[in-house]
Amino acid sequence: MEFFKYGEDAIRIVFGNTIDHTTHTLLRRYYFFLKSLRLKGIRNIIPSFTTCLIHFDSEVTSFQHIVSTLHKRRNELESVEVPEPMLHEIPVMYGGEYGPDMEYVTSYSGLTEEEVIEIHTGTIYTVFAVGFMPGFPYLGPLDKRLYSPRLETPRLKVPEGSVGIAQLQTGIYPFESPAGWRIIGKTNIPLFDYRKPPYSLMQIGDMVQFVRI
Amino acid sequence: MIEIISPAWLSIIVDEGRYGYGDIGVPPSSPLDLTAYKAIGYLCGSSRSNHPVIEVMGNDFTMKIHTDMVCAITGALVNIFCDDKPVQPWTPFLVKKGSVVRVREVIEGLRYYVGFSGTMEIETIMDSFSTNIECRFGGYKGRPLMRGDRIDIKDIEERTIVPFPVDLIPRMNQPHDMRLIPGFEIDHFISDAIQRFVEKGEPLWYTISSKSNRTGIRLEGEPLIFRNGVEKSIVSEGIVLGTVQVAGDGMPIIMLSERTIGGYTRIGTIAKVDHDRLAHVKPSDRINFIPVTIDDAERLWHHKVQSLSFLYTH
């Protein structure tokens, strides 16, 4: 684990450089450890695949202060309570008008639509990160047979609930938004509700199983 | 109460930012010119530390006032008229029931901030007044202000009129010199320009694209060339305001405060001392990136906070 400055008011903690479950498990524990410390002046903690970013208020605390506190209290890392991940079943309408890139994915992979759906629903995915926009789960790892490059030019708009794949990841767009991932289907399950804590259906570490409808 | 007669091009409610939810992808949606935002609190004496103000872009913002109070407009230098009498930006002025305040023209800069000696009565969403335009929550009913919108003002405080120190009002004209802390994947690029930037400290310059918005400022110019064999994207990870990402086509994008995670390669982070200026870059303006070390960037920021201590000390 290494600590780097990210600009004047953020700390980038690097846990590894590949997407794997060992890195994820350690990082997730560290994220709950960070939250449990309730340090003063912390604005955001953003855990993702291989790094955890701490954004702080430089008028209240500092890089040095946070890093030394983390070292001092590192013995609490082992005892911190890490919640059980939830398993979410997500019904998806695949292909057709709901999956404008299904055709591309079948031709790129050389698989039939049936096979693509079977493979996509045949894995239980891990939520490696939630972000870029509220409630968007970065899910993986995706079966190598479904590997698809991102769009060269992102679409200006995809509807909320769109299910996409990109490289070895899959994800769901909680809001209508621009999108560079290949869209293969759509779900009607709401992923984000700003009125109801914990707001995001998915939290880091949760499990997702797609079900065809 | 205030009533919007014309929202100019885009008027949204912002406060200091929506913090604490970065782990579920909720971005800060903070004011782009933080100094101008904080100046409203100083000039109007709103005692809340996280007061809502209106962030406006474009000429012709007009509102009708239904309550006696103090108003101030900071940020871009603008021509303001209160009942056809000119008033100064960055200086509080009295408004009365029936007054019409109109920003006729933006002279220098892009975004300006409108605030009052009371608190706009709007709902907080996830602890913040800020508008998340893309996801349609926060601010005024989750959307930009429109003609006819009415907002009550509560807790109006008595206020002595103190202007902002004139010598502390920043300039906002192009060219925009932005100090950049080089880093991350900058060695993924082989362009001459990058080499001269890193080794000799020569500026790396671009023009602002008209495709810029509140999520990111897109740049146009000489595309950066990826080294052979490097990935054009990285494993997605947390980013902060001012991160300069490079899209697959070699064009940089300055990320603002509407994204928590990014997956493009990065050449660095804009020093915080220059963040306010990001609110004021306009399409076709020239921007110069000037390399700065993190230590110098921290020093520059410290100086800025000291010279504006009446805004930045808690």
Residue B166 has pLDDT above 80, yes or no: yes
**Confidence (pLDDT) at B47:** 58
pLDDT digits (tens, 9 = 90+) for B69-88: 999 999 999 999 999 999 99
pLDDT digits (tens, 9 = 90+) for A6-63: 999 999 999 998 899 999 999 999 999 999 999 999 999 999 999 999 999 999 999 9
**Confidence (pLDDT) at A154:** 82
Q: Any alpha helices (H) in chain B, and if so which ranges?
A: 34-44, 192-200, 294-307, 309-312
Chain B residues near residue A60 by CB distance under 8 angstroms: 314
Mean pLDDT, chain B, as a whole number? 95
Chain B contact present for A2, CB below 8 A? no
- Average pLDDT on B173-185 reads 94
Please count the other Cβ atoms lying within 10 Å of the Cβ belonging to residue A84. Answer: 7
Q: Distance (Å, rounded) from C-alpha B19 to C-alpha B12?
A: 18
Q: At B311, is the pLDDT very low, low, confident or very high (cuts 50, 70, 90)?
A: very high
Residue A151 has pLDDT above 80, yes or no: yes
Supply the angle between the helices A63-72 and A21-37 in degrees, to the nearest 10. 100
Residue A189 has pLDDT above 90, yes or no: yes
- Average pLDDT on B137-148 reads 98
Q: At B158, is the pLDDT very low, low, confident or very high (cuts 50, 70, 90)?
A: confident
- Average pLDDT on B144-168 reads 92
Enumerate residues 220 to 259 of chain B having a beta carbon within 8 A of any beta carbon in chain A. Answer: 233, 235-240, 242-243, 248, 259
In angstroms, the Cα distances linking A35 to A32, A82, B28 are 5, 11, 18
DSSP state of A66: H
Q: Distance (Å, rounded) from C-alpha A142 to C-alpha A162?
A: 17
- The shortest CB-CB distance from A7 to any of B269, B313, B314 is to B269
**Confidence (pLDDT) at B48:** 65
Chain B contact present for A200, CB below 8 A? yes
pLDDT digits (tens, 9 = 90+) for B235-273: 999 999 999 999 888 999 999 999 999 999 999 999 999
DSSP state of A180: -
**Confidence (pLDDT) at B247:** 86
Residue B305 has pLDDT above 90, yes or no: yes
Beta bridge partners of B289: B178, B204
- pTM score of the predicted model: 0.96
**Structure ipTM:** 0.96
Specify whether the backbone of B58 is left (phi greater than 0), alpha (psi in -120 to 50) or beta.
left
Which amino acid would we find at residue A154?
Answer: P
**Confidence (pLDDT) at A171:** 98
Match 């698809």 to its residue by tokens.
A148
Contact (CB<8Å) B312/A59: yes
Residue B296's closest chain A neighbor by CA? Answer: A8
Chain A residues near residue B294 by CB distance under 8 angstroms: 5, 7-8
- Average pLDDT on B92-117 reads 97
Residue A178: helix, strand or coil by DSSP?
Answer: strand
Chain B interface, best mutation among A4, A6, A32, by max B CB count within 10 A: A6
- Average pLDDT on B179-205 reads 92
Residue B49 has pLDDT above 80, yes or no: no
